[in-house]
Structure formats: C-alpha cells, structure tokens
Amino acid sequence: MLKRVLVANRGEIAVRIMRAARTLAISPVAVFSEADRDALHVRVADDAVEIGPPAAAESYLNIERIIDAAKQAGCDCVHPGYGFLAERAVFARAVIDAGLVWIGPTAEAIELLGDKVASRLTMENAGVPVTPGFASENAEVDADEYRAAAEKIGYPVLIKAAAGGGGKGMRVVRGPDEFAEGLEGAAREAKGAFGDPRVFIERYVEKPRHIEFQVFADEHGDAVHLFERECSIQRRHQKVIEETPSTALTPGMRARMGEAAVKAVKASNYVNAGTVEFLFDDPRRQFYFLEVNTRIQVEHPVTEETTGIDLVAAQFHVAAGERLPWAQDEITQRGHAIQARIYAEDPAAGFLPAAGPLLYLREPTGPGVRVDSGVVQDVDVPVHYDPIMAKVIGTGPDRETARVRLIHALAGYVALGVPTTAPFLRDVLAHPEFVAGRTYTDFIPTHFHGWTGRDAEAETVALAVAAGVGERSPGSAGPGVPADATDGAASRIPGPWATLGLWRIGVR
C-alpha cells in the first residue's frame, strides 16, 4: 500500500482526502500558499510545504513547485482533489514521470474526455445517447458552417466550448438573429478561459434535469457505477444543491442510465473515480451524454452516505493496483442524502464572492448531519480562490427527513465575518417545488430571481442565538425554516456582535 501522499489542493477537499488517507495509514502532506499558512488543511496534515505567493498561478497551479514539494516531503503518491490541476493531463504525466503514483485516471483518458468534441464522438461510437449536435473538424470557427448546422438541428441551440466546462464559453441561441453574436461570444470566452476557441453546437433541451452517475474502474478491466446524483439546482451553471436518489428516475430508467455510464467508462479506457454527467429531458423521458468529470466530485459525500462506501479511500486502493472490491450487483443504496454547498458569497448581490476574517464559526451536529469543512475560526477566507467554505449534508431514511435535517443544519451553521449562502439555501430547500421534487437547471432563476434575503432583524437574532449570544425568547427563524430550527430568538445582541454590521454576519 502507499505510505505518504501529497495532497495538491486546499480547502475542504484537501481535508477530506487527508482524513481518508489516515484511515489507510497513509501519511498526508499539505501544500500551501502564503495566503493559506494558517488554513485548516495545513493544520490537519502531518507535514506541509509552502509553494508560493497567494496567486494560484504561482502556487496551486505551479506543477514544478508541487512536484518538488512531493519529493522534498518524501511522498510516494499525489492526490489532486478537484479543481486546480486535477483535470490537467500534463500534471498527471509530470507526477508519473517523477516516479510518483497518480491518484486518478490516466493522462490519456483526461485528454480524451477533456475535449468535449472528442469525448462526444467516443460516446456516439460506444452507443451512449448524445444530444443532436455538430462539431467542426476545423481548428478555426467557420460561422457559415456552424450557422448551417444550427438550422439543421433546429433552434434553440446551445453553443459550448470544446476544451472546457463550468459554464465558460457557453451561449444559448434561440433564433437566427442571435446566432452571430452567440457564436462570436462563445468562441471568444472559450479562447480566454481555455486557450482554445473551438466550440460545438447541441440542441438546447428546455428545462432539463442534470443527473450524473458516480463511476469507478480499475486497471484490470472492471467498471461499476454507484448510482446517480441529481444536481439540477444550479446558479450560473454551477451546482449548489445535490441529492441522491433522484426523484425523476424509475428503477428501469436508473438501470438504463447506469449501464450507459459504465459503457462510457469502458469506451474511454478509464481508471479510478469519475462522474458521467447526463442531461435528462423529463417530459420526453430521454437522457443525453453531457461530459465526464475525470476526478472526485464536490458532491461525492451524498453517494458515500447512501452506499456506505468511502470513495476517496477507494481511489487510493485502485491507484495502488488493486481490483475493485465490489461487483455491480453488490452495490446498493439505502436512504436519501442531500448536500448544500456553503460559499462565502452574498446571494442577494448576485452571489458576489466575499473574503475576510472568519470571526466566529459554529458548525452543526446531530443525527443525519455531516459537515465537510475547509475553514477555521480566526483565519481569513482568502480572496484568491474558489469561495467554497463547507458542504453540509443531511441524510435520512427518506427524502423528507433528509431535507428537514439539512434545513435545521443550515440554520445552525454560523459564520460571522463574511456573508454566506446558507440563508439562501434554506429558502431553496423550503420551496414548494423543491419539496415536490420538481427540480430543473433553471430552478434558481425561475423561482429566486431578485431574491433579497430574509428579514435582517430575524436573521441577525437567529445567528446570535446559534452563536450562544443574548437572551432566548420566542421568535421566528425566518420564512421557510422549521419553527424550532433555532429554538427561539434573542431579544437583543449584546457584546462585540452588535457593532459588526449586518453585512459582516451574512445577512441583508
């Protein structure tokens, strides 16, 4: 087995990897920038190596410094987590060339699946359903060629970057008069984000669901799926709430999509953990291949909570050359799990990212509650990186139990010093359409356009109570939150909290 791992990441995923490593008697080593000297992942590690200034390009994206850190710390393997260098084939090759074990898929699979055009063709050849679309073989974008293809596919169409994802280089075009501007904008943004202007076109599916399947494969030709996650609650194409099982799938549809996900893995000679993402056209009961994420996903905890499988630990086993320990028919799901991502953002100001000192932190506990955190009290939330602070997961024997537990947990999550998305997420979870399981990728712009936050006084009181400040008296936790979520409210806010200002504690 492997003995010492360099975790080439930061925040909650770095902490999660380190905890899994320890269960396998693998010593975790952190890397950190100057901005992260006191960060939680540095404190959790057995050892830590500084790799540069705060800017990611000079630290967490600097391959040479990370490889040097691994050698300096005596590591025999590297885990990239997600984000940063996790889906860079050049990094995977550099790790292997340095004589280290790479905890992830092969560089060849990363290259193939990172190119949306090549991966789409691979899936078509493997018999995995794809949306009707067009991708030019030319390196240059020919507007006339693409316009003709759009007319043949039929409007509306979606123009997407060939070399990346995350919503960058993506435009919805609803008619011929919008096409030129949409094509030019998508190609320009793709060039800026990925250094590659190539785009492709797909039929735009109105009000789709985003459903993905967790997959795993080993070096011996075995591949399985570990069921689905529904990730339809998104803002700007970024997921904010994920759950499993999906309310949309029948057992038969689940089996069909799972089989397609395993086909996708085998067609790309994939190894280790990955996620096959599909668009699900609910009214037509059809699904289409979207992409493969060649890494562990942010939302992997909901799969762990319902299958009982430690996915990160499994990554280490597979990277060490072991066979998958489960056959497909041995993997079962039990109960329901829902995850909410807490960001240092102000949802009432267009999800504007925030940074600053975390003056007070209180994380929820209780039955059916899991918190994967990447922050610690009295340390700054830095401005240089993705603003995710933590993931809060609610689990239960059924969806309603998991949902209510998660609402209670979010009401008990207190972060004083920066605004967070916790109040917004509680409102989403309490919305009648979410309660009914009717979730689509345009859920947030449809139901929460112009969301301005909860009543500031009620929210301030609730946070103060959760922080143990002030006297308790009957009160409301705000709209959409169970009445006992904060066990009453404080009549006033004494002490240092009174002078912080509402923006400092995440309310408007």
Q: Domain residues of the chain, as ranges?
A: 4-103, 132-203, 212-444, 447-505
CA distance 44 to 47: 9
Determine whether domain 212-444 maps to CATH 3.30.470.20: yes
Distance of CA 182 to the CA centre of its chain: 27
% of the chain with per-residue pLDDT over 90:
81
Q: Comparing C-alpha atoms, which of 371, 368, 405, 367 is closest to residue 388?
A: 371
Q: What is the tens place of the pLDDT at every residue in 395-410?
A: 999 999 999 999 999 9
The packing angle between helices 11-23 and 311-319, to 10°, is 70
Strand order of the β-sheet with 133-134 is 133-134, 199-203, 157-161, 171-173
- Please provide the CATH number assigned to the domain covering 4-103: 3.40.50.20
Among the ranges given (11-20, 207-216, 340-349, 458-467), the one the predictor scored with the smallest mean pLDDT:
458-467
CA distance 161 to 68: 33
Q: What is the tens place of the pLDDT at every residue in 341-361?
A: 999 999 999 999 999 999 999
Burial 140-167 (b: 16+ CB within 10 A, else e): ebeeeebbebbeebeeebbbbbbbbbee
Q: What is the tens place of the pLDDT at every residue in 370-384?
A: 999 999 999 999 999
Residue 169's pLDDT band (boundaries 50, 70, 90)? confident
Q: What is the tens place of the pLDDT at every residue in 26-74?
A: 999 999 999 999 999 999 999 999 999 999 999 999 999 999 999 999 9
Q: What is the tens place of the pLDDT at every residue in 458-468?
A: 554 555 555 55
Does the structure show a pLDDT above 50 at 471? no
Q: Chain-wide mean pLDDT for the chain?
A: 90
Residue 334's pLDDT band (boundaries 50, 70, 90)? very high
Q: Which helix (H) or strand (E) holds 388?
A: strand 388-396
Would you say the pTM of this structure is higher than 0.75? yes
What local confidence, expressed as pLDDT, does residue 237 receive?
84
Give the residue numbers marked as catalytic. 295
Contact at 8 Å (CB) between 9 and 373?
no
User: Which CATH number does the domain 132-203 belong to among 3.40.640.10, 3.30.1490.20, 3.10.110.10, 3.30.1540.10?
Assistant: 3.30.1490.20
CB atoms within 10 A of CB 431: 18
